Amino acid sequence: MSGSTDRPPVRVVLAKLGLDGHDRGLKVVARMLRDGGMEVVYLGLRQTTDTIIDAVEQEDADVVGISMLNAGHLTLGPRMVEALADAGLDVPVVIGGIVPDEDLPAMANAGVAGVLGPGATAEEVVACVRAAADARG
Amino acid sequence: MDSLSSPASRFRTLSGIPVDAVYGDGPAPGEFPYTRGVHAEMYRTRPWTMRMFAGFGTATDTNARFGELLAAGGTGLSTAFDMPTLMGRDSDHDWALGEVGRAGVAVDTVEDMADLFAGIDLGAVSTSMTINGPAPILLAMYVVVAEEGGVDRERLAGTLQNDILKEYQAQKEYLFPPRPSVRLVTDVIGFTTAEMPRWNPVSISGYHIREAGSTAVQELAFTLANGFAYVEAAVAAGLHVDDFAPRLSFFFNSHSDLFEEVGKFRAARRIWARWMRDRYGATDERSLKLRFHTQTAGVSLTAQQPEVNIARVALQALAGVLGGTQSLHTDSFDEALALPSEDAARIALRTQQVIAHETGVTNVVDPLGGSAYVEWMTDEMERQATEVFDHLEQLGDGSLLEGVYAGIDDGWFVGEIADASYRHEREVNAGERIVVGVNEFTEGDDPSARRLLRIGQETEELQRKRLATVRQGRDAAAVASTLARVAVDAAESTTNLMPALLEAVRARATVGEVVDALEGVFGTYVERAVV
């Protein structure tokens, strides 16, 4: 049913959480999602869980995508999931960046809905975000 | 057989054929405009510096890696700082959570800097420090560590990256708005020009511009434009071009298209020489010579079949050497997955040693010079870069410095880079460009064979304890008064900030405290988010 016209487009908030300034990947993902028919709210660099939650509420977002290069996924990923839950928001989190395979179970246990690594194609990126949005029900 | 006993015969091919230093006509290496190299004999008399970038965990962890690299034949040190340090935040700051010591070494105070270089004679090695926003503070710490260890500042040799303009364009590790940040750059230039004659105060860097997704032409043009901008800023600050320009250095990426890269390096030297002489009136030959460090393209490394990266790195390193680099860092094959493991870092260094000692490419200067293709590519790089300079000059009403500011303010640089990056991504995605192991030849990947470097959470706890100990042991009143002076001097735009920074870090003020004092005067910078 992807791309069907009877549903509004998926709205995704994209942000870099924390200090890391490597935004090449996030920008590419933003354009991939746009080209895939989604609405992207691009917050950019140095966001906090609070600024992301504000954006999710204001924009009525379906998915949060955060990107990190610095092995911050083990701390920042779960923190984002918890912060959304604490705010009473049922919005899945997708992480992009360098996440070693051995960390994938920990990410899933923490409630991270999807992980996109280096080399992910546009189709994979769009499918991952759509699956996260659909799983939300 | 005579040639075998003559001095020239020192340079022979593997089969024993004697070779000259240079072949071909036209301006020779070491002659203006230095297209063929900044020295007449290049690697025949002095090999490039094998400078391996390292940093992780605490200062003590990185100090041990430095020792390994020097023992393995590395000839220079290069320091990678962790994200909180790069962003001027202390390890106990909220923002630092999860990032302490992960992507580089954590340095909060001069005590960490002392541990980082413990057992290393700072009067004998040359050290590169990759830091930008807080660069003057880290330089001040390095000077204080050396002086407390009995080495005078004028003996210190090394390079501070200190290239803030490319942070707004590409790497995004800025702290303050562009104009006060450039003032900090010129303060460092003024300080080292007067007091640290062996120090390179700025390493004008295209590396990060390329890693952010630019083309080779954009890397070349944006980097040189930034270089011209610093020259204009330093001259406006009252410095004479020939007093500081000999110590400006550059840092380029070496990517996978070998001849394009060689053309880029050759064009960079030629453009810099012409502009410095003709536009900025430099007359000292050293001001005209573009010297550069090269690093292989981290962004080209694949997480899939990572061993194949060893071949990529070797070819990219070869391009840097054929392009006449003065120093070289070779990436480790596992860097698309994690920080380099010790084994991978050693293989990367050995790759340089193979090029230097086995391939014979060092026997002849600019061995590709005269190739119709390489000469055309060099000209083409220069032509396309000139179009960018023209655009920036127009934006800045005749000033490159103002043109660069304008290009930052209106998001022109980031837009250009993002367009190029997405274009590349789509080409790979569509299979128009083959990336071995990623979109073609994908069989044979074995994730279970990987041994990655992991930085544990205990590093963060350890570093916070170290910081707490320094905070407790220092004279709080002295720290407060030195920080107050930092703020006073920051507010006075014609005062060089380095003396105040030296005083503050000597009193054990932290990186974060000094940044806070500066931020109080300069404000912060938030970029307009452009996709």
- B483-520 burial, b for 16+ CB within 10 Å, e for fewer? bebbbebbeeeeebbbebbbbbbbbbbbbbbbbbbbbe
Inter-chain contacts counted by CB atoms under 8 A, chains A and B: 92
Chain A partners of B422 at a C-beta cutoff of 8 Å?
27-28, 31
CB B350 within 8 A of CB B342: no
Interface residues of chain B, partner chain A, Cβ below 8 Å: 83-84, 86-87, 89, 95-99, 102-103, 167, 171-173, 211-213, 299, 302-304, 336-338, 418, 421-422, 425-426, 429, 435, 438, 447, 450, 452, 455, 457, 526-527, 529, 531
Segment A63-78 shows an average pLDDT of: 85
- Which pLDDT band holds residue A6 (cuts at 50, 70, 90)? low
What pLDDT shows up at residue B53? 84
What phi and psi values does residue B223 have, to the nearest 5 degrees? -65, -50
* Cα–Cα dist B61/B82, whole Å: 13
Question: HSE-up of B462 (CA within 13 Å, CB side)?
Answer: 16
- A55/chain B closest Cα distance in angstroms: 14
* Cα–Cα dist A118/A23, whole Å: 13
Chain A partners of B172 at a C-beta cutoff of 8 Å?
21-23, 45
What pLDDT shows up at residue B450? 76
Is B500 a domain residue? no
**In this complex, which of B84, B98, B421 lies closest to A76 when CB atoms are compared?**
B98
Please list, in sequence order, all residues whose beta carbon lies within 8 angstroms of the beta carbon of residue A8, skipping any fewer than 6 positions away: none
- Spacing of C-alpha A70 from chain mean position: 16
CATH number reported for the structural domain that contains residue B38 in this entry: 3.20.20.240
**In this complex, which of A24, A34, A119 lies closest to B421 when CB atoms are compared?**
A24
Task: Please tell me what DSSP assigns to residue B22.
Answer: -
Q: What percent of chain A has pLDDT over 90?
A: 72
Is B249 a domain residue? yes
User: How far from B330 is each of A53, B32, B78, CA to CA, in Å?
Assistant: 41, 29, 12
Residue of B nearest to A122 (CA): B429
Is B508 a domain residue? no
What pLDDT shows up at residue B9? 55
Q: Hey, what CATH topology would domain A11-135 get?
A: Rossmann fold (3.40.50)
What pLDDT shows up at residue B464? 96
DSSP H or E stretch at residue B107: none
Cβ neighbours of A104 (radius 10 Å): 13
Provide the domain count of chain B. 1
Please list, in sequence order, all residues whose beta carbon lies within 8 angstroms of the beta carbon of residue B190, skipping any fewer than 6 positions away: B234, B237, B239, B244, B496, B498
- Grouped pLDDT means (10 residues each) for chain B, 531 residues: 49 96 95 98 94 89 90 84 96 89 94 96 92 98 97 97 98 97 98 98 98 98 98 98 98 98 98 98 98 97 96 98 96 91 93 97 98 98 98 98 97 97 95 95 84 81 96 98 98 97 98 98 91 82
Asked whether the beta carbons of residue A69 and residue B86 sit closer than 8 angstroms, the reply is no
Is B72 a domain residue? no
Task: Please tell me what DSSP assigns to residue B331.
Answer: P
- SS3 letters for B151-206? CCHHHCEEEECCCCHHHHHHHCCCCCCHHHHHHHHHHHHHHHHHHCCCEECEEEEC
Asked whether this complex has an ipTM greater than 0.95, the answer is no
CB B322 within 8 A of CB B361: yes
Q: What is the residue range of B38's domain?
A: 2-50+161-449
What pLDDT shows up at residue A71? 66
* Cα–Cα dist A53/A91, whole Å: 10
What pLDDT shows up at residue A72? 74
**In this complex, which of A45, A72, A118 lies closest to B172 when CB atoms are compared?**
A45
Token representation of residue B379: 């000209």
What pLDDT shows up at residue B3? 40
- Which pLDDT band holds residue A101 (cuts at 50, 70, 90)? confident
Cis peptide before B27 (omega within 30 of 0): no
Closest CA to B292 of B159, B387, B195: B159
Work out whether strand A114-116 and strand B49-54 pair parallel, antiparallel, or are unpaired: unpaired
